[in-house]
Chains A and B, each alone.
Chain A
Amino acid sequence: MMRVSNTFLHERMLYDIQSVMSRLVRAQNELSSGKRILKPSDDPLGTALVLRWRGQISKMDRWQKNIEELQSRFEMSESNLDTVKDLLTRARDIFIRGGSDSLGPDEKKALADELDQILQELVNRMNAKYGDRYLFAGADVLHKPFEVQKDATGKITAVTYHGYPIPSRDPSTGNLNDEAWLPVEVGEGVTMPQNVPGDWAVMKETSSTTPSDDLKMFRVIIQARDALLQDKNLSVEQYTDANGNQEAFLDTIDKVLARVGEALSYIGTKVERLQGLHTFYEKMRVNYEGLRSKLEDADVAEVYITYSKEQLVYQSALKVASNILTPSLIDYIR
């Protein structure tokens, strides 16, 4: 038979009640905070994972914001370039009409005036701003990219590009090089250009970095306008580019239109890709959030059951203690 002393009984009881109490407090903390991991030591491995998921989630939130910003910027560019396309289509019509033999000098002058209007609007569009930044200025967003030169009568004689040319790319040729263009991160190591470069969109004809009159979009309209003013036939006259090569006006403006179309479809694919990424991150965020929550957040139902159970144990321990600790043989000595 085990010998039991009063101190033993008392301390044992106290110790047990305290262990129940500490479990009760733990459950209470989990319930009131809603968290399973309150300190790293509650689950070190879980903490490491939670930190990782949290990091992923915050990065995705950041990418989402970047994507949204890029989207609205691209949309702004798109609407400007749409207008540019419409203007150029109108100019093309004028080119066709200006190639007709039946037109007199006055009618040609009227066409030239219309071209002048289109020219000015084109320059405005290409100098469009988004907030404080010029959309088509390349990296030089603080400076107006397209400057016009006018003669004494206020007629535009040349348009020059002052924006910064895309590094390591010849704007007169080839496709846009995604990699070389104002990067914004939209994924792990994945960057996306912020916009289409203006010099590319207007078909800069030389690789010169100093601003010069070598922008096909504006040159062709200026030359056509001047030809019409001189009562010349646009189907006979030839366009001369900055390198001295000659080409039919209609062919030239078709090329410019094609470039604008290319820019628009470039933007279209970017916006589509951004939209896809956005949706992807939304889904992934839910997944990561789920993983995080599973580790970090308390399973309230389960914790509550534990809590009720511990409470029951606690109460019965108290009851037993109050019964056991009072009587002893001393009470029965008269």
Chain B
Amino acid sequence: MLGAGNIALEIAKRSLGAHMLLMDVVSHNIANVNTPGYTRQRGVVETTYPFGVPGMGYMGIPGQIGTGVEVKYIQRLRNDFLDRQFRQENGVLGSEEAKEGVYDVIETMLQEPSDIGLGSVMSAYFDAWQELSVTPEDPAIRNMVIERTKNLIDTFHHYANQLIDLRSEIDFQIGETVKKINTLAHQIADLNGKIEQALAANQRPNDLLDKRDYLVDQLSKLVNVRVEKLDNGGISLFVGSMNIIDDRRVNPIEVFKNTEINASDVSDLSNATTKFVSAYGNKGWNGDKIRFNGSPDGDGGTFSGVDPYNTSVNTLWVKFFSDSPDESVKYVALDNKSLRSGKLFGLIEARDDVIWNALEKLDKLVWGLVSRANEVHRQGADLHGNAGEDIFLVPDSIYTSSRPQDLVATLYAGDDSSGLWKSSNFRGIAAHVYLNPDIDGHPERLAAARQDPTAGVGSDGYYNLSGDSTVAVAMAQLRDINMGQTSITVNNYTINLASPANFTSDMTLKSTREYFDSWVSGIGSDSENNKTIKKNVENLTKMLDLKRKQESGVNLDEEAADLIRFQKAYNASARLVSVMEQVMDTIINLGRA
């Protein structure tokens, strides 16, 4: 029999090599037991091609002879379907987490229910008027009313400024998130290149694939992404219809302050406003939040109006390379059909929905409270018998009138066709209302008494009705009277108020107190809702991730068992070599004995 010993030696050698490789894979697994995103690998072994092909020159051995073993390839044990599911939920988790942070800040700011929040400051203000109604002529109590009024105004400012600051903070976070998205996109595109190279060289770039999957996982928390596999092993990523990674090329997302973008660089300018609206989610946004250097209809004018909040409104655009189908377009707005989940979406919703609504409600509350208070106060008489002045004013550099009761609610009444900042609306009033300086320091100018032309002024200059408390009672009753009510009657004295046409429908049927209460509990239930969803999604994401890890994670026991198995096989193969050596020895020394 010919050459049998040679084959056996060769088989033993192959086995040694294969098992060494298998043990290498095991070591790699063990080494990466804690590496995030690592997928366990397994060497797939096969028998090598058998020796002896049937044919004319066939040497007459009793069959094909096995030629040993080889590691065909190293397999990555991962389930794509779980990946997709995980990424989808991860996006929702990202957006809900972003909103949760904002709700937490707002709820902390509200400090309700408690004895120190805006609710009790408002109570203290109305109580001061009550107290004045008992002793209207007392200068000490008049001073107290003024101090409580100042405190009320300060609290309004504090709340509004906190919300506005929170909004700028979110602006910053949006910028940071976009930066992170772009960084991840670049890394992924980079990996695409390396993976494609490896595949072209017929290698299995398992670890690179792991890295890429892990980066996509991270990206999926920031923005909703859809993965499309390419034939060359690369992937393309889409945010809705926007192609942010096209194989090795990245179309980065960019954020601009609305003053920074050049109208001519933007696609479809005639729709810019609506595009912008949709870019920010549909609720709470009107077109006034974007102002190009050119107007949408292309007449080159700039939008007028002063935004008392913040002119640095960001918008999100996907930048396209100049080889995009439309040569002239550099930027396309990321619209709300594309943006559906992820931290970015959550931040935008928090900014333009959550915070915006909170500000809007606060403004409405302040507007309703101060304009009604002014109207009532003007119909009273002060200690000298003069008609009361407005207590609350707003800067007329911002608004059309310095009198809050004269402001008109065009914007919130649903006028978003023009979509411009209305300098005549009441927005920002919570941050800008101030105490009439004529009244500040002049407690005698508070009008607690009714106006009565027949009552004169005494020789000492004091009104003959200085003990009357009718208007003070009316001021205090404003707390519980619907903001839309057109008159207040205290005893037989009727104070007429302007028609509530200026007020929006959610204000007219509520008193300031009710409006505040429903504002607080509304934020509470939105926040609760957010927390519930977040908790569910968090659970779901965790479960999906664990399910993935169940399949892809390294189990040390398993690896140890494999290690023992492979070691035994390796030992056996080594033994085979030494046996073959003896066999050879026998042959070589045949003639000697």
Q: Does B263 interact with chain A (Cβ within 8 Å)?
A: no
Proximity string of chain A (35-66) to chain B, C-beta cutoff 8 Å, 1 when within and 0 when not: 00101111111011011101100100010011
Q: Which residues of B contact A52 (CB under 8 A)?
A: 517
Q: Are A8 and B549 in contact (CB under 8 A)?
A: yes
Q: Of A111-119, A182-190, A214-222, which binds chain B?
A: A182-190
Q: Does A11 interact with chain B (Cβ within 8 Å)?
A: yes
Q: Which residues of A contact B531 (CB under 8 A)?
A: 41
Q: Are A140 and B465 in contact (CB under 8 A)?
A: yes
A137 to B462, CA, bound (A): 14
Q: How large is the interface on A (under 10, 10 to 19, 20 to 34, 35 or more residues)?
A: 35 or more
Q: Are A185 and B476 in contact (CB under 8 A)?
A: yes
A140-B467 contact given A5-B553, A6-B555, A168-B492, CB 8 Å threshold: yes
Q: Are B134 and A69 in contact (CB under 8 A)?
A: yes
Q: Does A152 interact with chain B (Cβ within 8 Å)?
A: no
Q: Does A264 interact with chain B (Cβ within 8 Å)?
A: no
Q: Which residues of A contact B199 (CB under 8 A)?
A: none
Proximity string of chain A (138-162) to chain B, C-beta cutoff 8 Å, 1 when within and 0 when not: 1111110000000000000000000
Kindly report which residue of chain A lies nearest to residue B561, judged by CB atoms: A329
Our count of residue pairs bridging A and B at CB distance below 8 angstroms stands at: 203
Q: Which residues of A contact B120 (CB under 8 A)?
A: 58
Q: Are A132 and B137 in contact (CB under 8 A)?
A: yes
Q: Does A4 interact with chain B (Cβ within 8 Å)?
A: yes
Distance from A9 Cβ to chain B, minimum over Cβ atoms (Å): 9
Distance from B516 Cβ to chain A, minimum over Cβ atoms (Å): 8
Q: Which residues of A contact B516 (CB under 8 A)?
A: 51
Q: Which residues of A contact B492 (CB under 8 A)?
A: 167-168, 179-180
A183-B490 contact given A11-B546, A54-B119, CB 8 Å threshold: yes
Q: Are B138 and A132 in contact (CB under 8 A)?
A: yes
Q: Does B556 interact with chain A (Cβ within 8 Å)?
A: yes
Q: Does B464 interact with chain A (Cβ within 8 Å)?
A: yes
Distance from B464 Cβ to chain A, minimum over Cβ atoms (Å): 4
Q: Are A328 and B119 in contact (CB under 8 A)?
A: no
Distance from B469 Cβ to chain A, minimum over Cβ atoms (Å): 6
Which of A141, A181, A296 is in CB contact (< 8 Å) with B466? A141
Distance from A29 Cβ to chain B, minimum over Cβ atoms (Å): 13
Which of A7, A39, A137, A185 is in CB contact (< 8 Å) with B554? A7
A189 to B530, CA, bound (A): 40
Q: Are A37 and B113 in contact (CB under 8 A)?
A: yes
Distance from A3 Cβ to chain B, minimum over Cβ atoms (Å): 6
Q: Does A280 interact with chain B (Cβ within 8 Å)?
A: no
A51 to B518, CA, bound (A): 9
Q: Does B123 interact with chain A (Cβ within 8 Å)?
A: yes
Q: Which residues of B contact A15 (CB under 8 A)?
A: 542, 546
- Residue among B30, B113, B564 having the largest count of chain A Cβ atoms under 10 Å: B113
Distance from A300 Cβ to chain B, minimum over Cβ atoms (Å): 18
A114 to B115, CA, bound (A): 61
A21 to B466, CA, bound (A): 63
Q: Are B524 and A39 in contact (CB under 8 A)?
A: yes
Q: Does B192 interact with chain A (Cβ within 8 Å)?
A: no
Q: Are A40 and B464 in contact (CB under 8 A)?
A: no
Proximity string of chain B (247-280) to chain A, C-beta cutoff 8 Å, 1 when within and 0 when not: 0000000000000000000000000000000000
**A residues with CB within 8 A of B:** 2-8, 11-12, 15, 37, 39-45, 47-48, 50-52, 54-55, 58, 62, 65-66, 69-70, 131-133, 137-143, 164, 167-168, 179-185, 188-189, 191, 194, 209, 296, 328-330, 332-333
The 10 A-B residue pairs whose C-beta atoms are closest, nearest first, are A40-B524, A5-B553, A141-B467, A44-B525, A41-B527, A329-B560, A44-B524, A48-B521, A7-B553, A139-B468
Q: Given contacts A40-B107, A51-B521, could you give 4 more A-B pairs where the C-beta distance is less than 8 Å?
A: A39-B108, A40-B524, A139-B468, A296-B113
28 CB-based A-B contacts, threshold 8 Å: A3-B550, A3-B551, A4-B550, A4-B555, A11-B545, A11-B546, A40-B107, A41-B527, A44-B521, A44-B522, A44-B527, A44-B528, A48-B517, A50-B113, A51-B113, A51-B119, A55-B119, A55-B517, A65-B131, A139-B449, A140-B467, A142-B462, A182-B467, A183-B133, A184-B134, A328-B557, A329-B556, A329-B560
